[in-house]
Structure formats: C-alpha cells, structure tokens
Structure 1
Amino acid sequence: MIFLSAYCETFRSAAHELGHTLGLFQQESREDRDKYVKIVTENLELNQVYMSFKQTRYTNEYYDIGYDFGDIMQAGAQSGSINGNRTIDSIDPKYRKNLRSESISFADLYLVNKRYNCSDLCRRRIRCRNGGFQHPRNCEICVCPSGYAGPRCGQKPPPCGSKETAEKKWKTLIVNLKIGKGRWSLDGYKTCTYWIKSPNNTRIEMRIRPRKSPFKDSDLYCNEAGVEVKAIKDQRLTGYKFCSSGDRYNLTSHSNLVPIIAFNRDPLPENVSLDRTQVFIKYRYR
C-alpha cells in the first residue's frame, strides 16, 4: 500500500512514487547520465544534494534502453532548487523542455516489463514494430511507443491527424489541436498524431515553428501543450518537445518516418488565452 500526502495527490506524483515502489530509480541517477544532463549542484538545497548521486549498473539496471527525457522518473528542471534556478539541464538543448514529464512514458512501461519478465507469460511470440513489446495480458497485440498504434505498432494512432508525404521541395504542415479535441488519455492529455513519410533510404528535414498555445510560453517545460517530434533514432524514447514561440529548431530525422504528436490539456477557463495549440512545420526529404 502506498500513502501519499495531499501535496502528492496528482497523477504525476502517484505514478512517480509507484515507479519507485516497482524498483525504478530517478532517471538522472543513471550511471551514464552525464552524457545527457548536467546537475547544477550550486543551485541545490542542502537536503537535496542526493540528486547529484549516481547509481551503478549493478544497482540500477536499465537494460538496453537509452536515457529518456520524458520518463516519469525524470526530475524537473528546478527540482530541489534553493534559488528558483535550474538544478538540471539537458546537454542537448532540444531536450530542455522535456524535463519533468507529467505522463508515464513507454520507457517506464518497457523497464517494468523487462524487470518482471512480464512478456514471458506469452507462450507464442509475436513481432512488434518500431520498438514495441508484446502485451503480457493480451499476447496477440503489442504495447506501442508514442506515435504508433495497431496490433503490431505499424499504424498511426487514431482519431485525428494526417499522413503527409515529403517531397524534395519544401512543404508546410500546420499542426492544430483545439482544446477538448483529440485522443483522451488517463493522464489528462488530448493528443493528435501526424506522420511525415519520405521514400526509403531518405531522411526528412524539418523546420519547427510553434505559433499558438492556450498556455503561456514557458522557458522550463512543455507540460501543458505543444508538440513531440520523434526525429530520433530510438523510437522507444520520447521525442523532442516544443511549445514556445522561441522554440525554433531545424531537425533532420534518422529515418524516412517522423511521428509528430500534438498534445494539450483542458485548462481552467481563466488560464485560456487561445483555443488551440498550433505549430507550423516545414519539411522536405533529402
């Protein structure tokens, strides 16, 4: 049984503490974390210095999955701060807005599944695409990373979004997600997934330009609304998240398919300035 104080009665806090109960450590305590994040120790409260400690591969087995910035076990950018400044920062600036996820990531599910050998319950093995794994309670389907769906993780998630085909000339995708629309999830988000695809053996160039958000721009997180762009090599991991008008990045994919997930929450009426999340993405293949 897990007891939570009133301060911790949120989806994130409950999921985070459940992760610890199941044997998961803080993401930033991984042995290889210095390749991915910097701990700013001078900004830490004295009683939070433990955040700078690292586990070893003997105490924290993370199997074959990389550092996931969207992991529910990842501390926030200001966690344990004595002065309100960042205590954790990403080495790659494109991941700066990922810290302190409000959702359980696919990597969390994958690690728990590996730790407890859950998929071994299935007598007949099936092959999952795009890094998915066999569902231990329904052995005929797969558990899929974000941006993928279907029995074998080879389909675009419903109910909204589109499939776009990249060409050699620049095209523009306008990502729109109105408040209250999209696919609802238990963590309180609505999502809408787009796919950009190009011919085999090509890569996709993208120019990301967020335009509108129902929420104020944030220099710290994209927790309320934005887009996740999965232009990364390992599709099991959370992609780059962008949400502010200043998040202007040029990306090149690692394959000929890039899932783009628009997301937002239903905010309180007094916090709404616009009715949608809107991002312009120019794209072409090379």
Structure 2
Amino acid sequence: MGSIIFGIAAHELGHTLGFFHAQARFDRDQFINVVYANLSPQLATQFVKQSPADNFNFGVTYDYGSIMHYSDTDMSTNRVTMLAKDKSFQHTMGNNVAPSFLDVLECSEHCNANGADCKNGGYRHPRNCSTCICPDGFGGFDCTRRATPVFGAPPNCGATIKANNSDFQILNGEVSSSVENGMAPRHAQCWWHIRAPMGRRIQIRVKSVSGACSDGCFYGGTEIKARDFLRVGARICCRSDVRPLGILYSNTELAIIS
C-alpha cells in the first residue's frame, strides 16, 4: 500500500510539474498502438495525443516504465487498451512504484551545471553536482561501475559475467524484498552485468521466471536491459510471457539483468 500511495502521489506531482501522460506524447504512435475499441468512451480523452509544440520532452525518449504511463488495461474493464510495438515491453507499462530514471532526467534537463563527468547516460545530482545520479544498473561516482544491491538485497547479490562465443550459459538469480512493519516499501534489487568480447553482441533467452502477474510487474519480477540502458527495461513476471519474449539481442557488448 505504501508504494502504491507514493506512486500515485509521484504521478500527480508529475502533472503539477507539467508532464502529460506518457501515452499522450506526440511521438507515442512510434511506440504503442491504442486499441480505441476497448476504451471507455468517457475516458478516451486520457489518450488524446499532444502536439510537438505543447509536448517538449528535452530529447528524452519514450519510456514504457514512466510513472506517467498507464497500464495496458487502464481505461477499460480488463481489456487491453495499448499494445507495445516492441512486445517485450508490454508488461513494463503501468509502473506505480516510483518515477523512472528518465522521468527524473526530463526534470533535470531544465537546468545545467558544471561538475562530475557522468558516464552511461548519468546526470549530475541536483543537490551535489560533484556526484552523479546513474541509470538503474550502474553505480559509482561517475556511473562506470555495476550498481550495488539496494532495498535489503544481500550485499553479494548480482555479478559481472563474461559471455563466451559458444553455447548459452545459464544464469540463475533470486532476491527477496525486506519487510518492515509488515510491508515491503520497495523491491529488493540487484544487477547482473553480462559482457561479451569486444565487437560482439549478447543473446538472452529467458527459460523461466517466478512472480505474480501484475501491471508493470508491481509485485516483482525480472527486468532485462539489452538495448537502451536509460529507460526501464523489458519486465517479465508471468510464466506465460516467457515464450513470446523469444531471444533478445543487445546493441553493444553489455546487457543488464535485474
């Protein structure tokens, strides 16, 4: 309940700061198909597409995991109202936990400052420009290291793994949330960096996943970043989603799993 309340508050604060719903961005048709036939007519205004003049996003790309993005069944009665053009992101929509990295980045683009030389898409901390705020999965003062485990995950959770040129290697990972006062305020999280030899790419095939099926994988799941490390990755929490996911290919020598 605590995470839900925070997520709702963050969403409404986003509106106060000038954010539109993500599915109303001027460029949304490049990323989703709206299923108008499944929309409740009185709520269809939530999907009105904005103009580029009214919806300036500071060059920040569309983020299926934005706190401003509805779930794929919102504004309907358990019927799909949005289809991700990249099917691996279908269950990333509906984040109710906290603002995503790109949500905060878009806010930070309003100001510029001198300070740390942040790597991997990180940006200077608005309260301490000598340090960086890093995309999920990266850490260190300049975002060049693997992020350390958070929210109660064991300190030895996660690893950096070298991929080879032969058959698939098996990676097993598990982490549980810490509970305070009978409630898990945030999911425990740790990261695996998979690195291929220079000039090679990584193939990822999910064999199985455990978790409760939910919008945005609210109750936990697996997240894969294979192409874009800034936005929220492809989230999987339903066993039925494993086969349609197929094989994911990285753009570079690095892929991140959490």
TM-score between the two structures when normalised by the length of structure 2: 0.87
8 Å contact from structure 1 (residues 26, 75) kept in 2: yes
- Between the aligned partners of 1:57 and 1:241, the Cα distance in structure 2 is 29
Percentage identity across paired residues of the two chains: 30
1:11–1:187: 8 Å Cα contact kept in structure 2? Answer: no
Distance (Å, rounded) in 2 between the aligned partners of 1:104 and 1:178: 21
* Cα distance in structure 2, aligned partners of 1:164 and 1:242: 21
Contact 1:208 1:247 in 2 (8 A): no
2:128 is matched with which residue? 138
Q: Which residue of 2 aligns with 1:239?
A: 233
Aligned to 2:24: 29
Show CA shifts across 1:131-169 (max 9, x none): 111112111111111111111111111132111110012
Distance 2:199 2:223 in 1: 23
Aligned to 2:61: 66
| Structure 1 position 95 matched with structure 2 position 85 | no
Asked whether the 8 Å contact 1:210–1:244 carries over to 2, the reply is no
Between 37-46 and 135-144, report the one with greater CA deviation: 37-46
Kindly indicate whether the alpha-carbon contact (under 8 Å) linking 1:133 and 1:144 is maintained by their aligned counterparts in 2: yes
Cα deviations by residue, 1:196-255 (Å, 9 ceiling, x for unpaired): 111221100111123333x3x45x5422111111101x3211111111222223111011
2:75 alignment counterpart: 80
What SS class does the counterpart of residue 206 from structure 2 fall into?
A: strand
Q: How many residues align?
A: 241
TM-fit CA distance, 1:31: 0.9
Name the amino acid aligned to 2:137: G
Structure 1 segments of 4+ aligned residues over 4 angstroms from their partners: none
Q: Is residue 240 of structure 2 the alignment partner of residue 250 of structure 1?
A: no
Deviation at 1:9, TM superposition (A): 7.0
1:41/1:52 contact within 8 Å kept? no
1:158 correspondence with 2:148: yes
Supply the distance in 1 between the matched residues of 2:36 and 2:174 (Cα, whole angstroms). 40
Change (3 A) 1:131 1:187: farther
Q: 2:223 aligns with which of 195, 203, 228?
A: 228
Q: CA deviation at 1:189?
A: 1.7
Q: What CA distance in whole angstroms lies between the structure 2 residues aligned with 1:129 and 1:49?
A: 40
Native 8 Å contact 1:210 1:242 kept in 2: no
Measure, in 1, the Cα distance between the counterparts of 2:147 and 2:216: 25
* Amino acid in structure 1 at the alignment position of 2:93: L
Deviation at 1:180, TM superposition (A): 2.7
Q: TM-score, normalising length from structure 1?
A: 0.79
Q: Which has the higher strand share?
A: 1
Q: Which runs of 5+ in 1 are unaligned?
A: 1-5, 262-286
Distance of 1:142 and 1:253 partners within structure 2: 25
Aligned to 1:126: 116
Q: 1:22 to 1:180 in 2, by over 3 A?
A: same
Q: 2:209·2:236 contact (CA, 8 Å) conserved in 1?
A: no
Matches within 5 A, 1:34-45: 34-45=29-40
DSSP-derived class of the 1:108 partner? helix
Call closer, same or farther: CA 1:98–1:9 in 2, change over 3 Å: closer
Residue segments in structure 2 that go unaligned for 5+ positions in a row: 150-156
**Aligned-residue CA RMSD (Å):** 2.0
- Structure 1 residues 146 and 134, CA, compared in 2 at 3 Å: closer, same or farther? same
Report the counterpart of residue 154 of structure 2 in structure 1: none
